[in-house]
Amino acid sequence: MAEPQQPLFNIQRVYMKDASLEIPNAPRIFLESENPAVEVQLDVASESVAEGIYEVSVTVTLTTRMKDLVAFLVEVKQAGIFEIRGVPDDQFEPLIGVVCPNIIYPYLRSNVADMVTRAGFPPIHLAEINFEAFYQQRKAQATQPAQGAGLVGANGLPVQ
């Protein structure tokens, strides 16, 4: 009889998978002086790439408005490749849905702040996200009809 495999968790790579920046009202928007309203949407996805190898991605869409004009729209998808083997079934989903996004998110935050600054705006520093709460909310929503999944409030917690 084969011995149970020791749990294995390795980060293979963290990378920016996709990024876009739009400033639809430039140059006019640079003349506005009021504080912008910022809307943040967040999503976490995962897929199996090979046996024991998984890609987990965190996508943020940031829409910033001044008055009734869109100042800028940024979307960044940060991803990581993780080797996960021998992990008990009851621990696998939280590993993919909580631990991996916690590893990826600081890179995403840095990339968003850098893109916004390079576009000529003051940097936007995204709030910390409680991926445990986000994971639990998504798990609860999976048993209910879809309603506003992916919205995150100013406190970093998912919006109901």
**Domain map (residue ranges) of the chain:** 8-126
- Superfamily, domain 8-126: SecB-like (3.10.420.10)
Q: Per-residue confidence at 143, pLDDT binned at 50, 70, 90? A: confident
**pLDDT surpasses 90 at 54:** yes
Helix (H, G, I), strand (E, B) or coil at 137: helix
Q: Which percentage of the chain shows pLDDT scores above 70?
A: 88
Average pLDDT of the chain to the nearest whole number = 89
Query: What pLDDT is stored for residue 151 in this prediction?
Result: 52
Q: How many CA atoms lie within 13 A of 52 on its CB side?
A: 13
**What is the mean predicted confidence (pLDDT) over 117-134?**
93
List own/partner pairs for 55-58 with CB under 8 A and 24 or more apart: 55/79, 55/80, 55/81, 55/82, 56/80, 56/82, 56/96, 56/100, 56/101, 56/104, 57/17, 57/104, 58/101, 58/104, 58/105, 58/108
Mean pLDDT on 114-139: 93
Residue 150: pLDDT band with limits 50, 70, 90: low
Token pair 């445990």 is found at: 132
Report the distance separating Cα 83 and Cα 15, nearest Å. Answer: 15
Confidence band for 155, pLDDT divided at 50, 70 and 90: very low
